[in-house]
């Protein structure tokens, strides 16, 4: 199979306007992935599936990732005049990089026996801009997995034929796999608490010491 860079170049040529990025994986597996913008995601995915050299006809796995807001510290050294003396002043600023939700697709080719090509789609943020295009119209196998991502992470897949919760019940409001999910505290009875559970159980069991 061609390298990811070659795939990226050909996909950009085939889908005009598509913004693609390569996300490097520094682990020994070196499974780098292709980040696709939402507007052209369906067209790029269609290219990956139908291109005669790629023929990625099999979606083996779709999953979600929750990236929280993170703070980035930046320090700039500027030259300023303090008390008549010119000095280097270090100014530290904290910038908040907004978090987002991500759907990751692993694509293989049954016909040409190669893969995987990893595709990542990202939402605008974690609260209201959570729409990304569904790839179910291209790979039918994505249907239940996208429903699971919707259920557990709260990503809205536009164009999904039947986007309902699949594991939790319909009236459930949370998304349990999000990192800021707080699950109901039902640790009233905990015979062998340890670590995190010990803290939660301690609220129910007052100690005498």
The DSSP 8-state label assigned to residue 165 in this structure reads: -
Whichever of 71 and 170 has its CB closer to other proteins, that residue is: 170
- CA–CA dist 21, 55 (Å, integer): 21
Residue 164 contacts other proteins per CB under 8 A: no
The distance of closest approach from Cβ of residue 155 to other proteins in the complex, given in angstroms and rounded to an integer, is 18
- Between residues 92 and 192, which has the closer beta carbon with respect to other proteins? 192
Task: Say if residues 113 and 55 touch (Cβ distance below 8 Å).
Answer: no
16 is an interface residue for other proteins by CB under 8 A? no
In the bound state with other proteins, the residue whose beta carbon lies nearer, of 89 and 202, is 202
With binding defined as CB under 8 A, does residue 94 bind other proteins?
no
138-160 burial, b if ≥16 CB within 10 A, otherwise e? bbeebbebbbbbbbbbbbbbeeb
* Of the residues 168, 179, 180, 203, which one makes contact with other proteins according to CB under 8 A: 168
Q: Which of 2, 110, 111, 172 binds other proteins (CB under 8 A)?
A: 172
Nearest to 127 by CA among 156, 105, 151: 156
Question: Applying CB under 8 A, does 203 fall inside the site for other proteins?
Answer: no
Residues forming the site for other proteins (CB under 8 A):
167-174, 176, 181, 183-184, 186-189, 191, 197, 202, 204-209
């Amino acid at each position: 199979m061609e390298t990811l860079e070659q795939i990226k170049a050909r996909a950009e040529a085939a889908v005009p306007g598509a913004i693609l990025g390569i996300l490097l994986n520094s682990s020994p597996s070196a499974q780098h992935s292709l980040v696709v913008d939402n507007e052209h995601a369906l067209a790029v995915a269609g290219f990956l599936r139908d291109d005669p050299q790629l023929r990625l006809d099999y979606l083996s796995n779709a999953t979600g990732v929750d990236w929280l807001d993170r703070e980035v510290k930046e320090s700039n050294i500027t030259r300023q005049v303090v008390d008549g003396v010119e000095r280097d002043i270090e100014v530290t600023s904290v910038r908040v990089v907004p978090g987002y939700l991500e759907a990751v697709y692993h694509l293989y080719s049954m016909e040409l026996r190669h893969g995987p090509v990893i595709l990542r789609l990202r939402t605008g943020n974690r609260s209201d801009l959570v729409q990304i295009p569904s790839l179910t119209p291209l790979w039918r196998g994505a249907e239940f997995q996208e429903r699971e991502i919707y259920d557990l992470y709260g990503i809205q897949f536009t164009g999904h034929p039947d986007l309902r919760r699949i594991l939790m019940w319909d009236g459930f409001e949370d998304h349990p796999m999000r990192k800021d999910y707080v699950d109901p505290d039902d640790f009233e009875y905990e015979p062998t608490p340890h670590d995190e559970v010990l803290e939660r159980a301690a609220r129910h069991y007052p100690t005498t010491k």
